[in-house]
Amino acid sequence: MPEIEIAHGCANGGEPFIPQVCRIKEIIPETHDVKTFRLTTLDGKRPFDSKPGQFGLLSFISEGECVFVISGFGEDYIQFTVKKVGRVTTRLHQMEVGEQVGVRGPFGNWFPYESCKGMDMLFIAGGIGMPPVRSFAQYCIDHREDYGHIDYVYSASTYADLVCKEDLFENWPKVPDMNVYVSVYHASEESEKKGLTESYTAPFLETLGIEASENRAAVVCGGPSLYRTCSESLKKLGFADDHVVTTLEMRMKCGVGKCGRCNIGSHFICLDGPVFTRAEIAQMYTTA
Amino acid sequence: MILKDEMLDSLLTELSKEQIVYVPKQVNGTTRFAPYVSSDKMKLDQVNTVMPPKDLLFPQTQNMYHYGVEKNSGNMFIDPVIESADQILFGVRSCDMRSFDCLDAAFLTKGYIDEFYQAKRDRLTTIAIGCTEVSETCFCESMGQDPNHAPQADIQLRHGEGGYNVTAQTEKGEALLEKFKPFCEEGEVEVADVHCTLNVDASNIKDNLDILHESHELWDSMSYKCLNCGTCTFVCPTCYCFDIDQENRCKEGVRFRCWDSCMFSEYTAMAGGHNPRPEKRDRVRNRFMHKLNYFEDRYGKMLCVGCGRCIEKCPVSLDITVLIDRANELAQAEETEAAHA
């Protein structure tokens, strides 16, 4: 059985606390409360190299710092997809192209993109759980020949809350051997026009006829209830715990395993995680 | 080598000419380590200061960097502030000396080195004094310390009739000892060992806590009277959690870190409303588990040094030694039950 290997305790040993100054290169509105921010250094370079699933911390004059997963990157930028929920994210949403921010990172471990090579991939995301999962999915799409069949299951509260619509409805359906399934919790005129199912993520997932196999990895990210229900559904479908990968979220301040708050037992999510298999999480809770 | 009592002030005055010498004394109604001034009365008879010496290495509030907008270019700037000075910590006890081992593990290992901490740590020299009395809350021997002797200290003093025996224990200590010599004389005073009166068996506490499930009634009974005031974390020499925040004025400011407490619900509260440790029961459990189980798992040592400050200062008398005793009993009971089942 192919094993999924996840690196833990990843530290690049670099500058942990002092951010670098970056400029907002581009802002892409995703939904009414989600925007993607592309950041570049003052001399127009990519701030740092990162692997899918790693995170960075953003700060501004007057607010910060907050942890966000790096949702993607390009030649000369990294991007964060941020939902407006609190003080810092509200401030971020008021910012305009050209304004400057502080960025620290990359921190944490990454999705097992190496050991998943050759496998079929099932991505499951809910709401603002999209950006972390997208970073891995996009990597697979960019290296399409290295991976098997790709299924992408995504749900959000309403049609208006769906993040990365362009990927969902235009880019990804064109990717060979990839299926995109989208559902909304509350149907609307627009969702019906697109022919989207009205369903919660877990029951929706169970109807898709996706079968577990030794050669298929599932990647899940969403709120606590989505994680709980989808884990049960995946179990029902026959997925082994070590073939279900997720990325955890906790309040973090330092990002480098010092400030103390993101622990589950003796594990720090920032340094040992945020990516774990379901088997590892189960093990973590028996010792926590 | 003996340092006579009457020579102590002259020695400290000499040492403080070149370095800041922190001594235990009364400041604003509380005892803590503060810079030596010859007219002050030191509190060397005190068993333990109310405030631990951790703020020498890990200040209660520490600026990390200044930020703002450059006038000419309009660009944002970030200027790190890494402060350090040659410091001597005089009169530290074995328990507090051992707390530096814990802080070192947390700040200097596991991939990232905390440069703010390291800058201060590298330039600290420690002079420990063996305890001559113990308080009723001291239980450092149960946590593996010797109240009479701190092996980690650069120089160890032990008080006897009329003076202190002086022993250098590290290279740093040997170097500083040169400064001691003019104030000392040959010989040794007779010293008497002291022992803790509060004793608890912590030898298996990590394993015993592993046996007790998260849902165990022990955690209900231990947490019900807790007020979540955070005093225990404030006076603890090993508690090192911090928050990062900023003080801002117009377009510039300073980002700093400051002590935080795992007893507060905001500590883990996330934007959007989710809190992984919502109840005080969860937080009390996490604190005790961190001290006695998680930290050992991660760094190979207990995060409790047995100084007894949390026991003494807790407004509702929550007692970590009571927890250890009860956890030992309950774990044993569970094991016996499992063996019979």
Query: For chain B, how many structural domains are there in total?
Result: 1
pLDDT at residue B40 greater than cutoff 80: no
Question: What is residue B260's predicted lDDT score, i.e. its pLDDT?
Answer: 94
B72 in contact with chain A, both atoms CB, cutoff 8 A: no
Chain A residues near residue B251 by CB distance under 8 angstroms: 61
Task: Say how many C-beta atoms besides its own lie within 10 A of residue A241's C-beta.
Answer: 15
The string of pLDDT tens digits covering residues B247-305 is 998 889 999 999 999 999 889 998 888 899 999 999 999 999 999 999 999 999 999 99
Radius of gyration of chain A (CA): 18
* Inter-chain touch A287–B243, beta carbons under 8 Å: no
Rounded to the nearest angstrom, the gap between the alpha carbon of residue B27 and the centroid of all alpha carbons in its chain is: 18
Rounded to whole angstroms, the Cα distance separating B267 from B270 reads: 9
For A260, the closest of B112, B241, B251 (CB atoms) is B241
Q: What is the pLDDT of residues B119-158, one digit of tens each?
A: 999 999 999 999 999 999 999 999 999 999 999 999 999 9
For residue B192, count other CB atoms closer than 10 A to its CB: 11
Q: What is the ipTM of this complex?
A: 0.90
Give the chain A residue whose CA is nearest to the CA of B286: A265
Q: How far is B203 from chain A (nearest CA, A)?
A: 19
pTM over 0.95: no
Locate the chain B residue with the closest alpha carbon to A224: B274
Separation between Cα atoms, residue B216 and residue B255, nearest integer Å: 41
Tens digits of per-residue pLDDT, B322-340?
Answer: 999 999 999 999 889 988 8
Q: Is the domain defined by A120-248+267-279 classed in CATH 3.40.50.80?
A: yes
Q: Which residues in chain B are closer than 8 Å to A270, comparing Cβ atoms?
A: none
Rounded Cα gap, residues B87 and B90, in angstroms: 10
d(CA B22, CA B56): 9
- The answer to whether B204 and B302 have CB atoms below 8 angstroms apart is no
DSSP state of B42: B
| Residues sharing a CB contact under 8 Å with residue B64, sequence separation 6 or more, in sequence order | A17, A18, B80, B81, B116, B244, B254, B255, B256, B257
CB atoms A260 and B289 under 8 Å: no
Tell me the two tokens of residue A249.
């979220």
Quick one: pLDDT at residue B341? 79
A105 vs A20: CA distance, rounded Å: 9
Question: Per-residue pLDDT for B202 more than 80?
Answer: yes
B109 vs B40: which has the higher pLDDT: B109
pLDDT in tens, B78-87: 999 988 899 9
A18 interaction partners in chain B (CB closer than 8 Å): 64-65, 78, 80
What residues of chain A score a pLDDT lower than 70?
A: 1, 13
Residues of B in contact with A223 (CB under 8 A): 274
Spatial separation of the C-alpha atoms in residues A99 and A101, rounded to whole Å? 7
Chain B partners within 8 Å of A272 (Cβ): none
CB within 8 Å: B246 and A101: no
pLDDT digits (tens, 9 = 90+) for A43-57: 999 999 989 999 999
Q: Which amino acid, residue B141?
A: E
The domain spans of chain A are 120-248+267-279
CA–CA min distance B300, chain A (Å)? 11
pLDDT band at B64 (very low <50, low <70, confident <90, very high): very high
| Interface mutation target, options A62, A65, A68, A161, chain B, most CBs of B under 10 Å | A62
Confidence at residue B46, expressed as pLDDT on a 0 to 100 scale: 76
Domain span holding position B264: 2-340
- Compute the distance between CA of residue A187 and CA of residue A178 in angstroms, rounded to an integer: 25
Length of chain B: 341
Would you state the pLDDT for residue A1? 60
Is the CB of residue B241 less than 8 Å from the CB of residue A259? yes
For residues B329 and B22, give the distance between their C-alpha atoms in angstroms, rounded to a whole number.
Answer: 42
